[in-house]
Amino acid sequence: MDANSLHANYRLWQRFQRQEQLGREHQAALRKLADTGAMASRVTEAYRSMADRAAKEGASYRTLFQRQRDNGDNLACEGWLFVRRVLAEGGTTRIRATLFETFTLEEGDITPSAESPKKVTLDIYDELLVQKSMTLGCRTDRQDDERDTRFITFLDSVRGDLRQYL
């Protein structure tokens, strides 16, 4: 095996390791959200705070989500979310945001650029959790692409340098 193919295999192994780490982190965050019993109204307030800070400071927040592949697998992806607006009307809450994807299994690490932002619309709603007992939880899914689901956005992971690409 030559050095180039060895190095390529190592980079591919690193990508799979990163995918596994993101998958574990996403599952842990989903469990924590379910254990806290967070309702859609509470999560909506968090997104309102993100939108306010985005408008004032250009803040983007780290987000993990699942993307369903053509073969049916759901794999974790990572990105940064610039929340532009929170719309609550008639029992439905929608988030208008810009998503900068920073990791997918297919592409590996993705560096943000002027071509990378995607305008997305997320729906926040309560769901019935029946794993251990019947409790209510909250879920955030992408409305404009049903393959992207279960968004978890972290209030404590913030960056302000992505506004230049909007």
E strand intervals along 20-145: 60-68, 74-89, 92-104, 108-109, 118-129, 135-142
- For residue 65, give the 3-state DSSP assignment: strand
CB atoms within 10 A of CB 64: 23
pLDDT greater than 70 at residue 130: no
pLDDT greater than 90 at residue 144: yes
Nearest to 149 by CA among 87, 89, 75, 99: 75
State the Cα–Cα distance between residues 97 and 131, nearest whole angstrom: 31
Q: Could you tell me the two tokens for 89?
A: 């009307």
Digit-coded pLDDT (tens) for 54-111: 999 999 999 999 999 999 899 999 999 999 999 988 778 999 999 999 999 999 999 9
| Helices and strands (DSSP H and E) totals, the chain | 2, 7
Model pLDDT, residue 137: 75
* Eight-state DSSP code of residue 103: E
Digit-coded pLDDT (tens) for 98-116: 999 999 999 999 999 999 9
* Eight-state DSSP code of residue 161: S
